[in-house]
Each structure stands twice: as C-alpha cells, then as structure tokens.
Amino acid sequence: MKQEPNPNKIYPRTNDFTTVYLKNVITNSNIIVDDFTMYNDFYNDPKDFEKKNVLYHYPINKDKLIIEKFCSIACGAKFIFNSANHTQKSLSTYPFPIFYEEWDNTMKVCEAWDNKGNIVIGNDVWIGFEAVIMSGVHIGDGAIIGTRALVTKDVPPYTIVGGMPARIIRKRFEDSVIEDLLKVQWWNWSTQKIFEKLAAIRNGDIRALKR
C-alpha cells in the first residue's frame, strides 16, 4: 500500500513548487482552510496566496475566507472582500469615513463600505483560472467555477457557473446523485476509506460509493 497522504506538508508533489496544500502556508487567522485543498500558481510563489489572492481583507472588518476540504484553486483566482466596496447607502461614492481625521471624527472606517459577510467555499470545489469571488458569496460543495468567472451570488452544490457576472451553466449530475453525494460527504471520511473508494469516486460510480 502507498504511503498515506499527508495533509500537513506544503508541497504535495515531489519537485513541484508551484502547487501547495493551502492551509500550510496561511498565517492570517481570518483565512481558514481545511485539509488537502490545493492552490497552483505558475506566475507567483503559491505561498504568497494570502497576500496576492485575498484582496481588501483588512483586519478592521473581521470578515473571513473559509475554504473546506479537497478544493482545487487555479492560478490567479482572487477573493475580493468587503473593504473593496464603497457604500451605496450614501449619496456619494467617495469614502469619507476612511478619511475621518479630516472630515468627521465620529465616523467609523467600516462605514465606508457595505458589509456583505464572509466568503465560504464548500468541499470539493474547483475554482478556475483567474476567477473572482466577491464578498459574501457562498459556494456549495462540488461546484465548478469557470475560468475568469466573476462570482457575485451564491452557487448551489454541484453546479457549474461561468461568465461575467457568473451564471449557472448546468448541474454536474442528476438531482438524485447530488443528494446522495451531499449525504455521503466522502471528503469527511478517513484517508483509508477514501483509498478504498477511490475507484468509485474517480469512475463516477455512486452506487459503489454508497456501499
């Protein structure tokens, strides 16, 4: 039997320094990544993910990026947080609260934008090349985000989206298969059990997966 996969190493492939297990290079406590989620970057050092790919993520707002297990994140994917926005409640788009020292000391910096909440990525999600995920978006388990898609709304489980802004293209499987996958939650199994069922996973054999 092969050596058991180790989710706690940085580089999962020998002599490949373009791909990392993401959780092992994150230092920001507001970025939470689970086991085996990988990021590939052939332009920049993938270890710089939180600096180059998670943008406008200022501590003052306390919003979070949460990415579950077995996700595949392609080169250049970006996660744009709330602080990138300018509030639309105001009659002006100018961010006066950011410059409270000059205008009004009673303003709070966070009032400069509308807070839409965390970005949450489910398990087994594939995010394509240079896709952009906006603040407040939740992406369901098993979804696929197309190349350079701009995701501004929640994505249901096992759904493929693409475009600018992203639109639903189709479901990956029939509803009954999706229901079974969401019940089975293979990503929460032990590595030993995943080994045993790997052929069923790779061959799309839902019956064998459920046995």
Average confidence (pLDDT) over 42-66: 96
pLDDT higher than threshold 90 for residue 52: yes
All structural domains of the chain with their residue ranges: 19-172, 174-211
Catalytic residue among 52, 78, 86, 148: 86
Rounded to two decimals, the pTM is 0.94
Q: Is 86 a catalytic residue?
A: yes
- Give pLDDT tens digits for 30-44: 999 999 999 999 999
**Domain 19-172 is in which class?**
mainly beta
DSSP for the chain, written as a single string: -PPPP-TT-S-SSTT--SEEEGGGG---TTEEE-TT-EEE-SSS-GGGHHHHTEES--GGG---EEE-TT-EE-TT-EEE-GGG---SSSSS-S-GGGGHHHH-TT--GGGGS-----EEE-TT-EE-TT-EEETT-EE-TT-EE-TT-EE-S-B-TTEEEETTTTEEEEESS-HHHHHHHHHH-GGGS-HHHHHHHHHHHHTT-HHHHH-
Would you state the pLDDT for residue 3?
73
- Give pLDDT tens digits for 119-134: 999 999 999 999 999 9
* pLDDT cut 90: percent of the chain above it: 98
